Structure 1
């Protein structure tokens, strides 16, 4: 007959030793998980620490673009429409810098081609200019040198949401002018149309 005190032939239960070992294992796993979560949180914190800057503008330029959206367009910070305004005007500012760099490169190419004896109005001059620019490679825009006009913008404009259609268009034109676009050039109309489309799309997102 089996007696409670008799051995079953298997290893004796370890009791506290097994529980203690398990606790150490759990503590090691928990510590590893905590370190991992902390690291991920730290990376996420670093990634979200900086302001929204889709075109990588210099800090001062980004601040000026934000001010234009707030004080010219009348769009308060902290809403999606503000982010879309900043993104669009930042892109237009970068395009203006690129256009100016391209224009400077063409001016240099024209000077070089005129030095070869070509004259204004000669189709060969235009070909020479483009070939010279291509040979030298695409010019790098000096975005850091771009200067925006934010003088007198200490007071925010009236709310964008209460402005009439005509007033909104006037503000869009002024925003592009503040970036440095000249109203007599085609790029100005493109800047205004792009901003208008971006703000319209931001308010009419497909559900």
Structure 2
């Protein structure tokens, strides 16, 4: 029997659910990379999302397990570096949703944990499996190092998951791309020089 996690942005305009076999088995991590931090700063949601060292808690999911029941017209995405990752958010209230590869052919979603709104459901998710990119963390990270997960190990885990899900043809449907196509529901936005300086630090160039 499957379980469901209820999903919602802050204002409730974007709502949905995530279907899972076992809540306690959901892969949960905390990422401290500069791109995750820049994304949350862009949305002005640092106080809501970051832990005490600038980390963003995420859960890993497949696109087919996510269902957005309302509010898809509010979906927007950022392309922070012109690379292979899209960062999705709800334009109605600036709530972060998560990140996906640029192509729906790669079945992976890193869902920001604040998009899971039911605290009882969230409490049933299993323990944190690793902390990523601690070199970008701020403050006293000493107590966190016991959970540090090297980037290459994370890459191998994600690559294995994507391969299995693709072979099982569970990369569709996806709530972030046009039905049957490769185009994101919303055109990716690039940062202006001023926005980049604000969210990453340094001069606007």
TM class by shorter chain equals under 0.3
Which has a greater percent of strand? 2
TM-score by length of 2: 0.20
Which has a greater percent of helix? 1
Greater C-alpha radius of gyration: 1
